[in-house]
Amino acid sequence: MKAMILAAGLGTRLLPVTETCPKPLIEVAGKPLLEHQLAWLRRAGITEVVINLHYLGEMIEAHIGDGSRFGTQVTYSREEALLDSGGGIAKALPLLGNAPFIWMLGDIWCPEMSFPITMPRTSLAHLILCHMQGRRDYGDFDLVQGKVFRNARRPYIFTGVALLHPALFDGCPQVPFSMTRDLLFHRLGGNEVTGDVFNGDWADIGSLESLSALKARVES
């Protein structure tokens, strides 16, 4: 199985830290976040990883190289213009192959994550969710009998980890589009978008406040 880590974003919500450092290279617990993520994937037996690049991408490539230093095989999908989450995956599909692959955001902390390796027969996207309680005042999705919905209740947050089938992107152009808003939202409630709940350690490093809180927790 292969994985794709999204690492192309501008990281504007983490300015001024990201003026000179791409978000995936921000250090947490003594090493860049991206190194942690490669280690978590390797622990799960996933050693072939595609990373998309745009903003300060040369710094990421210089640090990670071909991945051999971290026990992985890393290839890069370079974006001249940002393609957002969906467009970035669509561009990288030739590197990912025809089998389901793990998709992972490059700004999440999930050291206890058990990455899914199989998905329900009819599913094209299997999302890993967590409870919003204690993390946010609002959620992203609901989960009923393994199927993902987006209704008024929304007690779960999308962790930024999913098992995706390449067929989900059939007919998608290599232009900027959001995987969730422009692709998944139109398939919710049926058998094509399924999910599980993760109850372990998880954090979204989407702001200076969340970064500081994570560092205070894991580096104390």
Counted residue by residue, the chain has a size of 220
Residue range 180-206: mean pLDDT, rounded: 93
pLDDT at 175 over 90: yes
Map residue 52 onto helix, strand or coil.
Answer: strand
Residue 91: its pLDDT value, please?
96
First to last CA, the chain: 35
pLDDT band at 134 (very low <50, low <70, confident <90, very high): confident
Q: How many domains does the chain have?
A: 1
Residue 188: its pLDDT value, please?
94
Residue 26: its pLDDT value, please?
96
Query: What is the spatial distance between Cα 95 and Cα 119, in angstroms, rounded to a whole number?
Result: 21
Residue range 115-121: mean pLDDT, rounded: 91
pLDDT band at 190 (very low <50, low <70, confident <90, very high): confident
CATH number at residue 33: 3.90.550.10
Domain that holds residue 52: 2-218
Secondary structure in 3-state letters for 72-129: CEEEEEECCCCCHHHHHHHHHHHHHCCCCEEEEECCEECCCCCCCCCCCCCCCEEEEE
The percent of residues in the chain predicted with pLDDT above 90, rounded, is: 88
Residue 136: its pLDDT value, please?
78
pLDDT digits (tens, 9 = 90+) for 7-24: 999 999 999 999 999 999
Residue range 145-156: mean pLDDT, rounded: 90
Tokens 């999913």 belong to which residue?
162
For the CA atoms of 89, 63, 105, 91, what is the dihedral angle to 10 degrees? -10
- Pinpoint the alpha helices (H) of 27-83: 33-43, 57-64
